[in-house]
Structure 1
Amino acid sequence: MRESRTVAVLLAVSLLGMACASVPHAAPEAPSPLIFKSEAVGAPKPEALLVALHYSGSTPAFWDEHIRSLGVPVRTLLPQGPRPRRDGFTWFQADHEGKTLEGKTEDVERMAERLAELIREARASHPELRRVVVTGFSYGGDLAWMLALRHPELVDAAVPMGTRLLGEPARELPASHRVLVLQGEQDAIIPVRYTRERVAALKGRGVPIDVRTYPDLGHDVSPALLEDWRTFLRQSLQGSVD
């Protein structure tokens, strides 16, 4: 009797193993499409597109009053980070900050590719668009820089703020492009010395990039920073940056 029970158990285990082996592994789920707001401001068919990327824990609505203050015709593209965080959304998984520099860069590159696809779709839907400018703060600044760095065929100018400037140029950026980095000198997350050295190194490699810093500002925006942001964006959106 004991022997027959043992045989039965072994047979059951064997059949279970065969059944499990016959079930194919489920393919990883494709990421959900990014949610975004887009509208024409100041004209029915603006010739410039502004892509603005919020910081972690915020929403696309962060940009509304700042875009209105520009006072120039523009089509907006305001994506929303795919993951809830605090009272808003964020762009990366919770383990992003614990990753190596290479891991962080890979995360930003993957999300930037998804954002690049939104820009392609916007340009295809609105053939009147002649210029694209991207901006963002903190994680949004990391993404704005990566878009300018990896997709110069899509982006004409960028204003990343509070950014780590992750990634290295894989190809030459056109001399007509412009990147202006804005950052507080009291930033406790990204040391301003690092930003200055990084910008100098990139500039030495021919990247058309500059930095402007603000003495009493931390990892935040200020009236002075926003005034410089508006000035550069107005010029870039209208194609008048020297």
Structure 2
Amino acid sequence: MIRLVVVDDQALVREGLGLILGAQPDLEVVAELPDGPALLGFLAGEPGAADVILLDLYLPGADGVEVLGRVRALGPVKVLMLTTVGRAADVQRALAAGADGFVLKDAGGAELAAAVRSVHAGVTALSGSAAELLWPAPVAAAPEHAGARLATLTGREREVLGLLGRGMTNQGIARELALAERTVKSHVSNLLAKLAVTSRTQAALLARHLS
């Protein structure tokens, strides 16, 4: 069970996120908090109580990146940043400060839950909208060339790529396809090289736009 804390200054948003994520069988929302001081107080009073924090980027008093720095000093916990307005600079600033992932509030419930699972597993998670902010070029430029690269994938590599697009980790893909995890890692490396991209997120985003 992944223990999750939701931090957002808008009551309706955090309660909605709590309901959506809490309905997942492997996620438990242990706290819904309005701001940074409340989060820091919770973590100090309940050390080790949270596995993942869903942290709004814009909070009253101190923004989420500043709060993130203070959270890091309190112990190991994964932090997934959240915001409504998407700007590439915001995503870059959060990731540079040590965020484990970044999602926009336009993400669906399934995508958001997948992002929580990914960061918990140690995989940097970006929602599709956030990834597009960072890497528009592979999608926008020469789609016919990208389609030709996609055609070079084997059937198994296409299966792996589809599961990457659902936010699954190598371990999860291995279970889904009944493969050894090292075999999945090999397939991921091969498909990244064939698609001429540098990350699994770029690969999944490219496939999504070509589907």
TM-score class normalised by the smaller sequence? 0.3 to 0.5
Which structure carries more helix by proportion? Answer: 2
TM-score normalised by the chain length of structure 1? 0.38
Pair member with larger Rg: 1
